[in-house]
Structure 1
């Protein structure tokens, strides 16, 4: 009798231990994976912790947009979905991050459409020069159905396009003065790593030098490159203006940013969670654009105050004429999108 009682006691202890271990495992969770809530209605709702990779600093407008997006997702899911934003390329440079998102190793990212074109050719259209006359023209297109279809088309590349973010206009900055298109001849200019940008430099007579964004400062400092091209905020926050003190405002490109998710991650989510994330992304756009305008003006003012020589292009015709053959070369590839962009001009 005593033996049976002792055996029963041991069995009970083992059962309780197993139950406690099971509860601990259920609530511990794994990054990117779900963990069931303990009881009641909440038990039906999984929780997640995801990462969002960002190449820019913590106070940069795209990073602020990322954080607003994460905040809205947290609110809309009552805290069940947490998105941690990793700025300053902590998770890698953009091209490497895109590859990781494609594989599902990183769940979310914000990237330029420049490197994204290497994974989805349709986005190469944004690298074509002078296709947008103004910010208004660009956003007329980005808010239209064709641009939305482009985001949806990212699913073919194992991404989920959530929203476009603003990144202003890109212009050239160099180590020696450039006041017209002739001055660019033979200069080694860093470009985003895609074919359209390489072709653009050739059309303008410069020598394209593709390299990761993080390598540009040292390359300017050592003379590996003669210049680069980007918007006011990037020119300022990267401190490239310290090495390349001449900025020529030709606004050759308006290359939007894309906030996107891994399709591997997306396919694991419920329809309810997908809707919440999409709503959060859409709602974050206005905030990001507001932060962009503010920071763009601050960056320009600080760069000018630092003694940078700024040249405004008053006649774009020579620049536009130089790239016409290049645009025609790509027209068959982007014909429908270019048509939609043309139709988005302010009447």
Structure 2
């Protein structure tokens, strides 16, 4: 018998013994899902673009802690913060092909990957935070999660808070849409956000979050829009000292999984991870409210920032200016009507 033939026969024998051994030893905790067991330990990666201590990071960490506790350490989630794994767009792309297992992401960047999600970020759509979460945790939210899973290879798990967004700039106080005319405003790379800025008379400049401070400082952009904790934690208040409390959008955010990674874990573990994501989201919402109030108070205390609060008549001018955006998207009519009808 030549050497090559001997090696081939020996390899087949080893493989056969291995298969038979596997068939003869079944662990008590194995699941019924073919190819999936509840005994294999795994460490998954979750990406977030915010810094340590930010509400979403605290929520991510609570999610990871809950998953590890409920799986007795079999599933660990490592949180990568501060855009360590890439900016929002690149991490969504990585999520879709399984390069990243999980993510905390906003609806605005997701809208570039899923057309239905764009309806959620239309300006002046929600009455307040509580009504928004009633929408997201009802049929509208379930519809969005189903669309993400079917069309975008993303599994939505829970909704987190990102507050209301306001305009701030380096030039002047903004009281009417006319005051925005000619200003270059940074927005997330999202068509609804760009359309909103255009409708209000300004020029939109899509840009990665991490580049905004230097862009404001050097005049590449004149302003941006975000919530109170981000305005503080990013230090944008140091260079953009005029903020207008118009609360133009409440952009929902979520904890989500790569569908590729999701399909690799058992049905039982999927339930655990889903429940843990809700725990993490609830922690984040409480922390958000606390930090949002504290951020506003800190900025007021530091001084140097002009805070413009709109009157009801001034607010109406902004609302009227963006109203055509609703009619421009007939494909979102059903979702918009459902949101407006939610008490």
* TM-score interval, normalised by the smaller of the two chains: 0.7 to 0.9
Residue aligning to 2:341: 343
Length-normalised TM-score, structure 1: 0.86
Per the TM alignment, residue 41 of structure 1 is displaced from its structure 2 partner at its CA by 3.9
What pairs with 1:143-292 in structure 2 (closer than 5 Å)?
143-155=137-149, 156-181=151-176, 182-292=178-288
Residue aligning to 1:27: none
Deviations 1:8-51 (A, max 9, x none): xxxxxxxxxx9xxx9xxxxxxxxxxxxxxx99646851111000
Residue aligning to 1:97: 91
Give the Cα–Cα distance (whole angstroms) in 2 for the partners of residues 118 and 311 of structure 1.
32
Length-normalised TM-score, structure 2: 0.87
8 Å Cα contact 1:178/1:184 also seen in 2: no
User: How many positions carry a matched residue from both structures?
Assistant: 309
1:56 corresponds to which of 30, 50, 59: 50
The 3-state SS of whatever aligns with 1:119 is: coil
Residue aligning to 1:79: 73
Give the Cα–Cα distance (whole angstroms) in 1 for the partners of residues 120 and 47 of structure 2.
22
Residue aligning to 2:328: 329
- Which ranges of structure 1 fall in alignment gaps of 5 or more residues? 1-17, 23-37
CA RMSD of aligned residues (A): 1.6
The 3-state SS of whatever aligns with 1:88 is: coil
Residue aligning to 2:318: 319
Between stretches 41-50 and 220-229, larger displacement belongs to 41-50
> Relative contact order, CA 8 A, sep 6+: which one is greater?
2
Give the Cα–Cα distance (whole angstroms) in 2 for the partners of residues 318 and 40 of structure 1.
66
What pairs with 1:67-146 in structure 2 (closer than 5 Å)?
67-146=61-140
Give the Cα–Cα distance (whole angstroms) in 1 for the partners of residues 45 and 256 of structure 2.
12
Give the Cα–Cα distance (whole angstroms) in 1 for the partners of residues 173 and 140 of structure 2.
36
- Which ranges of structure 2 fall in alignment gaps of 5 or more residues? 1-13, 19-24, 31-36
8 Å Cα contact 1:74/1:81 also seen in 2: yes
Deviations 1:224-266 (A, max 9, x none): 1000000000000000000100110000000011110000111
The 3-state SS of whatever aligns with 2:328 is: helix
Deviations 1:108-144 (A, max 9, x none): 0001110000111111112211011211221121121
Deviations 1:201-220 (A, max 9, x none): 11000000111111100000
Deviations 1:143-185 (A, max 9, x none): 2122122112211211111011000000000102223122111
Between stretches 318-327 and 79-88, larger displacement belongs to 318-327
The 3-state SS of whatever aligns with 1:244 is: coil
Give the Cα–Cα distance (whole angstroms) in 2 for the partners of residues 254 and 202 of structure 1.
18
Give the Cα–Cα distance (whole angstroms) in 2 for the partners of residues 192 and 99 of structure 1.
16
Give the Cα–Cα distance (whole angstroms) in 2 for the partners of residues 262 and 81 of structure 1.
15
